Amino acid sequence: MRVGTVLLTVLVCAPAALRAQAQSSAPATMATSEQQIAAAVLALPEGMRAGAAVLGYHMPGHLMELRKGSNGMICLADDPASPVFHVACYHESLEPFMARGRALRAEGVKGGMVDSTRFKEIKAGTLKMPTTPAALYSLSGPAGSWDPATNQVKDGRALYVVYIAGATAASTGLPAVPAPGLPWIMFPGTPKAHIMFVPEM
């Protein structure tokens, strides 16, 4: 919203030459629903892609269902408002937690307050986390790394995690700090605890 306000001020007050320059640097046309779906499911193993539900955008900032799913996985399309490429897919049991995070950020809640708010709600019983392990897959790349014509991501980085609420090093036998070539527990002992896997595994 702040960026949009600044750009509007420039367009109203700047001379014609500056206005034309600002318009020429505007973002490219947003990807179609079909392109968003194709890119979003790249985060998943190939055999799981066809059955995943996909949430994406008909306009920036308005996430909506682009495709219904049949295999319990939900994928988020790349956000057109972000300069970098990022898609993620997770088990449907994580949706209340993920959706609440999106809602809080839309309300202006930032940083660690998003998690602290969700943790309080989980403790109060008003927000549910899965009671069994739940997977999340993501794929990220620098600005311009995704080619919509080929649906490939140049220099993409995959990340795989398994959420186990409350898990610790003691309860899993995994380290609580990053270890090269090994899985490890991130946010141990919290509702957001999850096993991190390096892409090579």
Digit-coded pLDDT (tens) for 50-104 = 999 999 999 888 999 999 999 999 999 999 999 999 999 999 999 999 999 999 9
Q: Which residue reads 């702040």 in tokens?
A: 2
Instruction: Please report which residue ranges of 14-144 form alpha helices under DSSP H.
Output: 16-24, 33-40, 95-106, 112-124
pTM as predicted: 0.83
Over its C-alpha atoms, the chain yields an Rg (Å, rounded) of 19
For residues 186 and 198, is the Cβ–Cβ distance under 8 A? no
Percent helix, strand, coil in the chain (nearest 5)?
A: 35, 25, 40
* pLDDT by 10s per residue, the chain, length 201: 333 333 333 333 333 333 333 333 334 578 999 999 999 999 999 999 999 999 999 988 899 999 999 999 999 999 999 999 999 999 999 999 999 999 999 999 999 999 999 999 999 999 999 999 999 999 999 999 999 999 999 999 999 999 999 999 999 999 999 988 899 999 999 999 999 997 753
